[in-house]
Protein backbone atom coordinates (compact mmCIF):
# COMPACT_ATOMS: atom_id res chain seq x y z
CA UNK A 1 0.00 0.00 0.00
CA UNK A 2 1.32 3.43 -0.89
CA UNK A 3 0.85 6.71 0.92
CA UNK A 4 -2.60 8.01 0.21
CA UNK A 5 -3.67 11.47 -0.97
CA UNK A 6 -4.52 14.11 1.60
CA UNK A 7 -8.05 14.43 2.85
CA UNK A 8 -9.98 16.93 4.84
CA UNK A 9 -11.60 14.17 6.86
CA UNK A 10 -15.05 14.61 5.30
CA UNK A 11 -17.53 11.98 4.23
CA UNK A 12 -16.18 12.36 0.69
CA UNK A 13 -12.82 11.03 1.85
CA UNK A 14 -10.87 9.19 -0.87
CA UNK A 15 -9.87 6.54 1.69
CA UNK A 16 -11.37 3.10 1.79
CA UNK A 17 -12.28 1.43 5.07
CA UNK A 18 -9.09 -0.67 4.74
CA UNK A 19 -6.99 2.49 4.29
CA UNK A 20 -8.57 4.08 7.35
CA UNK A 21 -8.07 0.88 9.35
CA UNK A 22 -4.38 0.88 8.44
CA UNK A 23 -3.99 4.55 9.40
CA UNK A 24 -5.67 3.92 12.75
CA UNK A 25 -3.54 0.81 13.39
CA UNK A 26 -0.33 2.68 12.58
CA UNK A 27 -1.25 5.65 14.73
CA UNK A 28 -2.26 3.36 17.61
CA UNK A 29 1.14 1.64 17.51
CA UNK A 30 2.92 4.98 17.48
CA UNK A 31 0.81 6.32 20.34
CA UNK A 32 1.37 3.19 22.39
CA UNK A 33 5.11 3.42 21.72
CA UNK A 34 5.09 6.98 23.02
CA UNK A 35 3.21 5.90 26.15
CA UNK A 36 5.35 2.78 26.80
CA UNK A 37 7.51 4.63 29.32
CA UNK A 38 4.40 6.11 31.01
CA UNK A 39 5.36 9.59 29.83
CA UNK A 40 3.96 11.23 26.71
CA UNK A 41 6.14 14.21 25.81
CA UNK A 42 5.29 17.09 23.47
CA UNK A 43 8.21 15.94 21.28
CA UNK A 44 6.64 12.52 20.91
CA UNK A 45 3.28 14.06 20.03
CA UNK A 46 4.87 16.27 17.36
CA UNK A 47 6.84 13.33 15.97
CA UNK A 48 3.70 11.18 15.67
CA UNK A 49 1.91 13.96 13.81
CA UNK A 50 4.89 14.52 11.50
CA UNK A 51 5.25 10.81 10.74
CA UNK A 52 1.56 10.13 10.21
CA UNK A 53 0.98 13.18 8.05
CA UNK A 54 4.06 12.43 5.97
CA UNK A 55 3.51 8.70 5.61
CA UNK A 56 -0.17 8.89 4.72
CA UNK A 57 -0.23 12.41 3.20
CA UNK A 58 -2.83 13.49 5.77
CA UNK A 59 -4.09 17.00 6.29
CA UNK A 60 -3.85 18.35 9.83
CA UNK A 61 -7.60 17.84 10.29
CA UNK A 62 -7.46 14.27 8.99
CA UNK A 63 -4.53 13.46 11.28
CA UNK A 64 -6.40 14.70 14.35
CA UNK A 65 -9.43 12.61 13.35
CA UNK A 66 -7.23 9.50 12.98
CA UNK A 67 -5.49 10.23 16.29
CA UNK A 68 -8.83 10.54 18.09
CA UNK A 69 -10.07 7.26 16.61
CA UNK A 70 -6.76 5.56 17.46
CA UNK A 71 -6.87 6.74 21.08
CA UNK A 72 -10.45 5.47 21.40
CA UNK A 73 -9.52 2.06 19.95
CA UNK A 74 -6.44 1.85 22.19
CA UNK A 75 -8.58 2.43 25.29
CA UNK A 76 -10.87 -0.40 24.22
CA UNK A 77 -8.11 -2.88 23.42
CA UNK A 78 -6.36 -5.41 25.60
CA UNK A 79 -3.12 -5.37 23.64
CA UNK A 80 -1.55 -4.24 20.39
CA UNK A 81 -2.14 -7.49 18.51
CA UNK A 82 -5.17 -6.21 16.57
CA UNK A 83 -3.20 -3.21 15.31
CA UNK A 84 -0.08 -5.19 14.48
CA UNK A 85 -2.22 -7.80 12.71
CA UNK A 86 -3.72 -5.12 10.45
CA UNK A 87 -0.25 -3.89 9.50
CA UNK A 88 1.09 -7.42 9.09
CA UNK A 89 -1.74 -8.36 6.73
CA UNK A 90 -1.81 -5.19 4.62
CA UNK A 91 1.83 -4.14 4.36
CA UNK A 92 4.77 -5.56 2.45
CA UNK A 93 8.00 -6.38 4.28
CA UNK A 94 9.52 -3.03 3.21
CA UNK A 95 6.47 -1.14 4.44
CA UNK A 96 6.56 -2.98 7.77
CA UNK A 97 10.23 -2.00 8.12
CA UNK A 98 9.14 1.60 7.63
CA UNK A 99 6.64 1.22 10.48
CA UNK A 100 9.45 -0.05 12.72
CA UNK A 101 11.52 3.01 11.76
CA UNK A 102 8.56 5.20 12.66
CA UNK A 103 8.26 3.48 16.05
CA UNK A 104 11.97 4.04 16.72
CA UNK A 105 11.57 7.70 15.70
CA UNK A 106 8.76 8.16 18.23
CA UNK A 107 10.70 6.36 20.95
CA UNK A 108 13.76 8.55 20.40
CA UNK A 109 11.76 11.79 19.99
CA UNK A 110 12.45 12.52 23.67
CA UNK A 111 16.11 11.42 23.29
CA UNK A 112 15.74 8.50 25.71
CA UNK A 113 15.18 4.76 25.45
CA UNK A 114 13.22 3.20 28.29
CA UNK A 115 13.30 -0.57 28.86
CA UNK A 116 9.54 -0.78 28.20
CA UNK A 117 9.96 1.04 24.89
CA UNK A 118 12.80 -1.26 23.88
CA UNK A 119 10.74 -4.32 24.79
CA UNK A 120 7.75 -3.02 22.85
CA UNK A 121 9.65 -2.38 19.60
CA UNK A 122 11.36 -5.77 19.81
CA UNK A 123 8.03 -7.52 20.41
CA UNK A 124 6.43 -5.57 17.56
CA UNK A 125 9.24 -6.50 15.18
CA UNK A 126 8.72 -10.16 16.08
CA UNK A 127 4.98 -9.93 15.44
CA UNK A 128 5.62 -8.21 12.09
CA UNK A 129 8.29 -10.81 11.19
CA UNK A 130 11.03 -8.20 10.87
CA UNK A 131 14.53 -9.66 10.96
CA UNK A 132 16.50 -8.61 14.07
CA UNK A 133 19.27 -7.15 11.90
CA UNK A 134 16.67 -4.98 10.12
CA UNK A 135 15.34 -3.86 13.51
CA UNK A 136 18.80 -2.73 14.59
CA UNK A 137 19.47 -1.10 11.19
CA UNK A 138 16.24 0.89 11.59
CA UNK A 139 17.29 1.98 15.07
CA UNK A 140 20.72 3.07 13.86
CA UNK A 141 19.18 4.91 10.95
CA UNK A 142 16.96 6.88 13.32
CA UNK A 143 19.91 7.59 15.58
CA UNK A 144 21.80 8.95 12.58
CA UNK A 145 24.54 6.35 12.86
CA UNK A 146 23.72 4.67 9.58
CA UNK A 147 22.79 6.06 6.18
CA UNK A 148 19.71 4.68 4.48
CA UNK A 149 20.55 2.32 1.60
Residue 19, CB-side half-sphere exposure with 13 Å CA sphere:
18
Range 53-60 contact pairs with CB under 8 angstroms and sequence separation of 24 or more: 54/3, 55/3, 55/26, 55/98, 55/102, 56/3, 56/4, 56/23, 56/26, 57/3, 57/4, 57/5, 57/6, 58/6, 58/7, 58/23, 59/6, 59/7, 59/8, 59/9
Secondary structure element (H or E) that encloses residue 23, with its range:
helix 17-35
- The predicted structure's pLDDT at residue 2: 41
CA–CA separation, 117 vs 103, rounded Å? Answer: 9
pTM for the complete prediction?
A: 0.84
CA–CA separation, 52 vs 118, rounded Å? Answer: 21
How does pLDDT run across 12-62, given as a tens digit for each residue? 456 678 789 999 999 999 999 999 999 999 999 999 999 999 999 999 999
How does pLDDT run across 88-100, given as a tens digit for each residue? 999 999 999 999 9
Closest CA to 148 of 91, 111, 98: 98
Expressed in angstroms, the distance from the first to the final Cα of the chain is 21
Amino acid sequence: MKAMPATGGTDTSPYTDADRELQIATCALLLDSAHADNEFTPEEGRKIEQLMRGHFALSEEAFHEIKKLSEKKLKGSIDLWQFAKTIKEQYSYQQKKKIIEMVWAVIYADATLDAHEDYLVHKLSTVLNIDHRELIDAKLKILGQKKAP
